[in-house]
């Protein structure tokens, strides 16, 4: 799978007891609050300086920097987990560099973007994933908890869900080729220890021999058994199926699990190196712009 990707989530504001009616994200509540300003306030109050420990999942977040450009908030956070002692090792020599205490977090910088149109009932949040490292869970928990407390008197909350632009994805999938498919299985150790380990069973296209494209739809419908993909038998049922697909040189990742499929977008400038901020912003604006245009949101409502 691509090392650098981002996913899109939608953020909506609503009253606690009204699940069907969402409020305008740029003017909600008795004081006509703007989600763009509210989220900036959240970053300043919660993540600046020493950062924030989130006991749920033992996550750690710290704001690195932020910038508002029209209706777009660009910000970087350092994200990691604490709770497990370990050590940092110099891989070239095998020498121990230093110990990691259980209250320490090895954190990684991850780029984010929040786009809040002047009109409409949802904002789009792009969050970077580097390998298996993500700030999605930590930021979601922290912001929802902070928002609920801040607007407790008005009984307002936010819903944050994966953005599903179904029609745009169907169009991409219809012309896509399957480059890689991975079955992810959580297995308990044979000694009955608490917890589980992750096993990945992967099949990848060789040179120009792509994997069968019909597998994409079958996997999305949860009808592609491991026996169809692998010659080895007795592969357990997967907890998650990840597919890397390609169309016109652009790669996307689809994750099929217990919830609705999640879609992720590759960030790449073609060099193979870590993509710079310009590339990240260009890729995010391309996907966000296409999605908002399809939803009939005028570009001037968020990019001018």
Query: Whole-angstrom distance between the N-terminal and C-terminal Cα of the chain?
Result: 35
Interval 53-76 mean pLDDT:
93
d(C-alpha 237, C-alpha 184), whole Å: 9
85 and 72 Cβ atoms separated by less than 8 Å: no
Spatial CA neighbour of 146 closest among 42, 38, 23: 42
pLDDT tens digit string along 258-296?
A: 666 678 888 887 777 789 999 999 999 988 888 888 778
Q: What pLDDT sits at residue 1?
A: 63
Is residue 123 exposed (0-12), middle (13-18) or buried (19+ Cβ within 10 Å)?
Answer: buried
Q: What is the pLDDT of residue 222?
A: 83
Rounded Cα distance between 297 and 291, Å, is 9
Q: What is the pLDDT of residue 192?
A: 55
pLDDT tens digits, 246-258: 888 778 888 887 6
CA distances from residue 17 to 6, 147, 282 in whole angstroms, order as listed:
32, 16, 38
> In this predicted model, what pLDDT tens digit does every residue of 140-180 receive, in sequence order?
999 999 999 999 999 999 999 988 666 667 778 888 889 99
Mean pLDDT, rounded, for 93-111: 86
pTM over 0.95: no
Model pLDDT, residue 196: 59
Backbone angles phi and psi of 12, in degrees to 5: -125, 150
Angle between the 35-42 and 136-150 helix axes, to the nearest 10 degrees?
Answer: 110
């Amino acid at each position: 799978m691509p090392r650098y990707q981002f996913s899109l989530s939608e953020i909506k504001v609503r009253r606690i007891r009204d699940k069907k009616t969402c409020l305008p994200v740029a003017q909600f509540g008795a004081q006509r609050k703007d989600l763009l300003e509210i989220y900036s306030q959240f970053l300043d109050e919660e993540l600046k300086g020493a950062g924030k420990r989130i006991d749920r999942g033992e996550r750690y977040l710290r704001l690195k920097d932020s910038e508002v450009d029209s209706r777009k908030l660009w910000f970087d956070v350092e994200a990691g987990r604490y709770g497990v002692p370990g050590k940092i090792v110099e891989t070239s020599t095998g020498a121990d560099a230093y110990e990691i205490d259980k209250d320490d977090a090895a954190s990684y910088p991850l780029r984010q973007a929040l786009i809040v149109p002047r009109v409409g009932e949802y904002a789009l949040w792009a969050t970077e994933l580097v390998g298996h490292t993500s700030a999605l869970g930590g930021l979601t928990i922290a912001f929802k908890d902070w928002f609920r407390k801040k607007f407790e008197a008005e009984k307002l909350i936010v819903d944050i869900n994966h953005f599903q632009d179904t029609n745009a994805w169907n169009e991409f999938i219809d012309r896509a080729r399957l480059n890689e498919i991975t079955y992810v299985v959580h297995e308990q150790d044979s000694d009955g220890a608490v917890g589980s380990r992750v096993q990945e069973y992967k099949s990848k296209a060789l040179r120009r021999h792509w994997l069968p494209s019909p597998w994409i739809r079958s996997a999305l419908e949860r009808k592609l058994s491991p026996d169809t993909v692998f010659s080895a038998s007795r592969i357990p049922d997967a907890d998650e199926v990840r597919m890397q697909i390609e169309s016109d040189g652009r790669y996307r990742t689809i994750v099929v699990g217990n919830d609705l499929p999640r879609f992720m977008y590759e960030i790449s400038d073609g060099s193979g190196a870590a993509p710079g901020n310009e590339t990240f912003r260009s890729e995010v604006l391309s996907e966000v712009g296409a999605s908002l245009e399809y939803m009939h949101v005028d570009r001037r409502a968020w990019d001018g």
